Amino acid sequence: MRRSPKARQTKSKARIRAFDELVEAQENRTPGKAQILIQVPERLGGTVIEAKGLTKAYGDRVLFAPFSGEISRTERIAILGPNGCGKSTLMRVLAGVAQPARGSVVLGTGVRTAYYRQDFTHLNPDHKIRDEVALVAPRITTQELRSHLGRFLFSGDDAESRVGDLSGGEQARVALAKITLEKANLLLLDEPTNHLDLESREALEEALEGFDGTVVLISHDRAFLAATATRVWGFNGDRVEDFAGGFDEWVEHTKRRAEAAPAVSRASSTPSAAPVRAATGLSKNEQRRREREMERLEADIAALETRIAELESALADPALYASGTTPERARQLTADLTTAQSSLAAAYESWERMGEELAGV
C-alpha cells in the first residue's frame, strides 16, 4: 500500500527525531570498560554502494565473474565463502584500494568509508598508539583522546606504546579505535573479530547494532555473523550470489543447494572453509600435513593479495608519472606486480588442488 504524502512526511520527521535522540544519547553516554562507541555519522541517502559488473582475475584464475549489486542505508552485508575464494579482494575493490579487471563501484552521495584490514597494513608500526588514532581526528583534545583510548583498554602509559610492538589483539583494538572516530557512515570490516577476546567481540556486536550507517563485513565468527548480517553476498565458485537473508538462512540455503547437487560437486558448493574428511585414501598423518599446508597457502594468498593491492595503489599514484621523475620506479613496480600476480595464481592452483585431494574429488 502506498503511503500518503502526509504519512511519508510523518515518517521522515520520526526518523530525524530518532537520529537526533541517538546523537544526544551517544554524547551523554558514559561507557564502561568493555563498550565500543562508534561516532554518529552523517545520515546517508538510499543507495550507499552500487557495484556494476565487477570482475577480478589473477592470470587464469577468475576470482569472481561479472557481479552487480546495490547496498542500501543501514544494511549489514556479510561476504561469505571458502578461504582463498576472493572475499578480501572483493572488499578491497569496494574500498577502492584495488581495481577490478572490469566493472565499477559507485558510492552514493555523502558516503564516507572506513576500512578495517585484517592484516593491519593500514596501521603505521612506528607510531605511538595515541598518535596513530589521533590521525583520523586532528581536532580531538588530549582529554577526549585519552578517554576514547581508555574505552579500548589503552590507559595511562599504554597509549605511548609503539604500534609495531603490540600483539594481534592490541593492534585490532587500535584499528577499531581509529575507525570509531572517523565518523564514517560505511564500515568495511575484514575479519574484525579475529584477534578480539569475547568481551571485545560482544562490545563490537553491540556497537554495530546501534550504528546508523551501513556495514559490509567478512568473518569466520558464526555467532557474530548470525547476530549482525541482514543480507549475504556468497561465493559459489567464481559467482557471487546476492542472497536476501541473514547468515542462518544462508547456511540453510547452501545446505539445500548441496543436497540437490551431484555428490561429486558437493564439496565445492558448500561454503564451509573446513576441510572435508572424505574417503581420500590418505593416512591421518598425511591428511593433517596437507591441511597444515592448506593453512600455509591461505596465509600466502592473503599476503600476496595485500602486496598486489599495495603495488596497484602505488602504480595509480599520479606522482609516479609527474614531470621530472624517472621511469625506473614505475617499471620496477610493474615487474613486481606481474611477479606477485603470477605467484598468487600459482598459490590458488595449489590451494585448489590440495582441497580437491582432501575432499576426495
Residue with the larger pLDDT of the pair 216 and 47: 216
**Looking at the predicted structure, is the pLDDT value of residue 252 above 90?**
yes
Residue matched to cell numbers 569475547: 198
Give the pLDDT band of residue 160 (cuts 50, 70, 90): very high
Asked if residues 24 and 17 have their Cβ atoms less than 8 Å apart, the reply is no
Cell reading at 292: 597444515
Domain boundaries, the chain: 47-112+183-247, 284-359
Asked if residues 213 and 41 have their Cβ atoms less than 8 Å apart, the reply is yes
Q: What is the pLDDT of residue 262?
A: 63
Percent of the chain topping pLDDT 90 = 37
Domain at 284-359: CATH code: 1.10.287
Q: What is the pLDDT of residue 26?
A: 44
**Mean pLDDT of all residues in 314-328:** 82
**Mean pLDDT of all residues in 209-214:** 90
Q: What is the pLDDT of residue 72?
A: 92
> 360: helix, coil or strand?
coil
- Biggest CA–CA distance in the chain, Å, is 71
| Ranges 72-76, 129-133, 328-332: which has the least confidence | 328-332
User: Distance (Å, rounded) from C-alpha 173 to C-alpha 36?
Assistant: 10
Q: Over 170-211, what HEC string results?
A: HHHHHHHHHHCCCCCCEEEEECCCCCCCHHHHHHHHHHHHCC
Q: What is the pLDDT of residue 289?
A: 81
**Looking at the predicted structure, is the pLDDT value of residue 223 above 80?**
yes
For residue 199, the tally of other CB atoms under 10 A from its CB is 12
- What is the average pLDDT value for the chain, to the nearest integer? 80
**DSSP H stretches of helix in the chain:** 5-28, 87-95, 129-134, 142-151, 168-179, 198-209, 222-228, 247-260, 266-269, 284-315, 328-359
User: Distance (Å, rounded) from C-alpha 91 to C-alpha 98?
Assistant: 9
User: Distance (Å, rounded) from C-alpha 10 to C-alpha 346?
Assistant: 58
Q: What is the pLDDT of residue 337?
A: 81
Question: In this structure, which amino acid lies at residue 80?
Answer: L
Percent of the chain topping pLDDT 70 = 80
Asked if residues 96 and 51 have their Cβ atoms less than 8 Å apart, the reply is no
Most confident of 15-29, 204-218, 249-263: 204-218
Most confident of 37-41, 167-171, 334-338, 344-348: 167-171
- pLDDT tens column, 79-105: 999 877 889 889 999 999 888 989 999
- Strand pairing category for 47-58 and 61-72: antiparallel
Residue matched to cell numbers 574429488: 361
**Mean pLDDT of all residues in 1-7:** 37
- pLDDT tens column, 274-308: 433 444 566 777 777 877 887 788 788 878 878 88
Q: What is the pLDDT of residue 220?
A: 86
**Looking at the predicted structure, is the pLDDT value of residue 321 above 90?**
no
Most confident of 4-13, 24-33, 63-72: 63-72
Q: Is the dihedral of CA 203, 81, 65, 269 positive or negative?
A: negative
pTM, two decimals, is 0.67
CATH topology for 47-112+183-247 is Rossmann fold (3.40.50)
Give the pLDDT band of residue 27 (cuts 50, 70, 90): very low
